[in-house]
């Protein structure tokens, strides 16, 4: 059983010369003053082997704010999510992680040109749900970067923006006392205990994540939970039911903004990476078929069966919670929920849910809950 908070610290820090003089870079370096540091030119950064012991502070030369790189919207429903690209890579080393075959940066990378980040956010006038957890974990570095102390109060003042911090981490201390105005959703990726132990072995344990989520609940944050990827294996029903029961032992349903469901899918290139890096993992040896987005997916009837079961178990604890499918086909939605939202309708469902729960528009009932 995994216990205790283990904070990440790099063995070496590389600093892109172009960001060396920024206040935010210097703030981060001051917290790492006992760790070797080297100023480098970005064009000379090389490496083909991922090394999470190196932290690289640099600038985002592209856009921070952009559409989520979700699957082909011609075939699968999109929730019109947006991402804020604050860095890349992660230390948790989950066997199924798509970043293994998606990114080519060799280090943990943090972008420190925050002036550009906030300039992009300042220009937004439409309503957006924006997450920082697509290309990295949102919080595992927060004791070093303190990025949450910049983002959360900013979003708390923006009526048209919702921040989602997706994580497996328990590094949440900086979130306490921030003026979030319920415009930040702190979300955890959850899985079956067996999968958490075998395929997420370097991440905090399931109960540790839920204890952290309960603290954020006590601090007034909205919460999200993502069962993604759901992995099919012998005994999966019992194991996922255990996770759902544990979730609602710790969390009040009225504080949950949303719960997403998504079954394991992967690009073909990821299979050889998993075989090489994690030869003990069996997750890629199930029955998969090539899908319309070129990914390998479980057969549609199996996906539908899994989603129906998960939805039933969740609704037994939380009849009113919003549950949605991530990257799924319309006919799967129809079989699971009995209706098919268009892309814009799915966006509106999620937008409306968080609007109702934020800014005091709907005050959750506070009742006692068993938390053992």
pLDDT in tens, 259-287: 999 999 999 999 999 999 999 999 999 89
pLDDT band at 371 (very low <50, low <70, confident <90, very high): very low
**How many structural domains does the chain have?**
1
The CATH code of the domain that includes 253 is 3.80.30.30
pTM of the shown model: 0.93
The number of beta carbons lying within 10 Å of the beta carbon of residue 246 is: 16
3-class secondary structure, 294: coil
Cis peptide before 115 (omega within 30 of 0): no
Q: How many CB atoms lie within 10 A of CB 307?
A: 23
CB 283 within 8 A of CB 96: yes
Q: What is the pLDDT of residue 27?
A: 98
Alpha carbons 266 and 94: distance in angstroms, whole number? 13
Structure tokens at 30: 């001051």
Q: What radius of gyration, in Å, describes the C-alpha atoms of the chain?
A: 20
Look at residue 297 and tell me if it is in a domain.
Answer: yes
Place of tokens 């990295």: 136
Residue 368 maps to a domain:
no
Q: Is residue 26 part of a domain?
A: no
Q: Indicate the DSSP class of residue 273.
A: H
Length of the chain: 372
Task: Give residue-wise pLDDT tens across range 117-176.
Answer: 999 999 999 999 999 999 999 999 999 999 999 999 999 999 999 999 999 999 999 999
CB neighbour burial string for 197-206, b if at least 16 within 10 angstroms, e if fewer: ebbbeebbbb
User: Is 30 inside any structural domain?
Assistant: no
CA dihedral for 106, 69, 295, 90, sign (positive or negative): positive
Look over the chain and give the mean of its residue pLDDT values, rounded to a whole number.
91
Rama region for 43: left / alpha / beta (φ>0; ψ in -120 to 50; rest): alpha
Alpha helices in 251-338 (DSSP H): 268-277, 300-317, 330-337
Does residue 150 fall inside a structural domain? yes
Using alpha carbons, list the distances in angstroms from residue 74 to 293, 345, 359.
Answer: 9, 16, 35
**Burial zone of 239 (CB within 10 Å; 0-12 exposed, 13-18 middle, 19+ buried):** middle
Buried b (16+ CB within 10 A) or exposed e, 331-366: ebbebbeeeebeeeebbbebbebbeebbeeeeeeee
What average pLDDT does the segment 353-357 reach? 94
Task: Please report whether residue 180 resides in a domain.
Answer: yes
Mean pLDDT of 312-329: 96
DSSP β-ladder status, 288-290 and 265-266: unpaired
pLDDT for residue 75 = 77
Q: Which domain holds residue 142?
A: 72-85+114-357
- Answer yes or no: is 178 within a domain: yes
* Residue 328 is assigned to a structural domain of this protein: yes
d(CA 249, CA 154): 32
The alpha carbon of 2 is separated from its chain's Cα centroid by a whole number of angstroms, namely 20
């Amino acid at each position: 059983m995994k216990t205790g908070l283990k904070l990440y610290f790099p063995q070496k820090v590389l600093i892109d010369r172009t960001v060396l003089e920024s206040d935010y870079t210097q703030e981060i370096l001051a917290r790492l003053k006992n760790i070797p540091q080297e100023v480098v030119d970005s064009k000379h950064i090389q490496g083909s082997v991922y090394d999470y012991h190196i932290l690289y502070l640099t600038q985002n030369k592209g856009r921070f704010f952009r559409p989520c790189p979700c699957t082909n919207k011609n075939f699968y429903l999109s929730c019109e999510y947006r991402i804020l690209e604050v860095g890349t890579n992660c230390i948790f080393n989950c066997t199924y992680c798509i970043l293994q075959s998606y990114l080519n940066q060799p280090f943990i990378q943090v972008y420190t040109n925050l002036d550009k980040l906030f300039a992009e956010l300042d220009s937004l006038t439409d309503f957006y749900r924006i997450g920082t957890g697509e290309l990295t974990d949102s919080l595992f570095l927060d004791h070093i970067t303190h990025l949450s102390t910049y983002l959360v109060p900013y979003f708390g003042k923006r009526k048209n923006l919702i921040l989602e911090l997706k994580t497996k981490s328990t590094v949440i201390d900086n979130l306490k006392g921030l003026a979030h105005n319920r415009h930040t959703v702190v979300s955890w990726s959850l899985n079956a205990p067996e999968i958490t132990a075998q395929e997420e072995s370097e991440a905090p344990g399931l109960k540790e994540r839920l204890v952290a989520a309960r603290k954020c609940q006590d601090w007034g944050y909205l919460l999200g939970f993502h069962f993604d990827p759901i992995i099919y294996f012998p005994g999966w029903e019992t194991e996922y039911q255990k996770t759902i029961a544990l979730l609602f032992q710790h969390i009040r349903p009225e504080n949950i903004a949303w719960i997403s469901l998504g079954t394991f899918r992967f690009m073909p290139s990821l299979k050889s990476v998993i075989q090489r890096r994690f030869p003990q993992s069996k997750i890629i040896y199930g029955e998969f078929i090539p899908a319309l987005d070129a990914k390998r997916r479980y057969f549609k009837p199996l996906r539908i069966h899994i989603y129906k079961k998960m939805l039933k178990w969740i609704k037994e604890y939380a009849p009113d919670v919003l549950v949605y499918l991530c990257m799924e086909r319309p006919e799967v939605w129809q079989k699971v929920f009995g209706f098919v939202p268009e892309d814009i309708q799915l966006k509106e469902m999620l937008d409306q849910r968080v609007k109702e729960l934020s800014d005091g528009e709907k005050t959750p009932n506070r009742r006692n809950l068993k938390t053992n």
